[in-house]
Amino acid sequence: MKKTFLSFLVVGGILLGFSNCQAKSENKNSGEKPAVSSVSEEGGSVKLTKAMFLEKVWDYEASPKEWKFKGDKPALIDFYADWCGPCKIAAPILEEIAKDYHGKVQVYKIDTQVERELAAVFGVSGIPAFLYIPMSGKPTMTSGIARTKEDTKKMFAQNIDKLLLANN
């Protein structure tokens, strides 16, 4: 009786796991777009899909060899993944940065597990990676975070001031 009950639990768990994975797969293939972070009056980051990236940042399909920034203010893009520990540390700091620089710099987020093509376009092989996009000139990629929250926030602020706002 115990073996039968245990077998039932194992088979049930496998079937439940399979149906959950199948539902996730169906949602991905249904054409639904991932949710976009809402941006409050005080600012905040915006999660980008490929379509949004092509519209708001750079249409690399139309001009693959020439960088043409489409934004109306400098931008910082965070390439991250939900499973990445350092990305989880950087996320709330970037939200603070987005609020601190609201109206001056747009902060975007790209989930590299969902938007693999966007990560590949920029050669992102390690995360977290941060793309600083000035209004004119080429973007600059950096990676990693500092040892402390304060140092990480200072690193973002220095890079924004130097790479994005110095010439604007």
Positions marked catalytic: 84, 87
Helix 85-100 crosses helix 149-159 at what angle (to 10 degrees)? 50
Is residue 20 within 8 Å of residue 77, measured between CB atoms?
no
Phi and psi at 44, nearest 5°, equal: 155, 170
Phi and psi at 160, nearest 5°, equal: -65, -45
Residue among 49, 22, 24 nearest 37 (CA): 49
